[in-house]
Amino acid sequence: MNTQPEPDLSAEDDTHGPQFTRSDADAGNAEAQFGMGLRCTIASATPDYAQAAEWYRKAADQNHHLAQFNLGQMFAQGHGVAHDETTAVMWMRRAADGGDAGAQFNLANRCYRASMKIAASTAAESRIEAYKWYRLAAAQGYGTSQNSSDVVTMSMSREEVTQGNQRATAFVAKHCV
């Protein structure tokens, strides 16, 4: 049984944009559900990650990309849900495919780290994917994506960079129509 009080979503809050009520979230409003998840993680001294994960999942199932990213992070860190890297990557990929720059950056980091741990025959594929995701996040001005792209480029052949650019271009053409 959850003994924490429900977060108050009724007040206007300039730092988080328009606010919604619990009834909006219960009625299926994805933005309100995302807001409830966010409030569960930051509204009190003791975050209720399990409740946040439930709200994020409801919004994520409706294709709310930031909720997908946050839910992926929760699975990656084991906050409010069992730690599950496969599920974390699945939610991250959905958010990244939806254009979320944070998820794209996260996937790029995962691919780049993987490229350093796997056989040389498959490492190139991971570097190309890392490069693609870094480029997409960098195009949105996300954090250190440009610097990270430059770092991974140093370990790539000219052909791999060309493939990474082609994949980034194809992604934009497919998802930004």
* Alpha-carbon gap, residue 91 to 72, rounded angstroms: 5
* Residue 45 confidence (pLDDT): 84
- Beta carbons within 8 Å of 109's beta carbon, 6+ residues apart: 130, 148
* Residue 18 confidence (pLDDT): 55
Name the band, by pLDDT with cuts 50, 70 and 90, for residue 20. Answer: confident
Per-residue pLDDT tens over the stretch 34-64: 999 999 999 778 999 999 999 999 999 999 9
pLDDT at 177 over 80: no
Contact 91, 69 (CB under 8 A): yes
Range list of H helices, the chain: 22-26, 30-42, 49-60, 65-77, 85-97, 101-115, 120-139, 145-153, 158-175
Per-residue pLDDT tens over the stretch 111-170: 999 999 988 778 999 999 999 999 999 999 999 999 999 999 999 999 999 999 999 999
Per-residue pLDDT tens over the stretch 71-108: 999 999 999 999 999 999 999 999 999 999 999 999 99
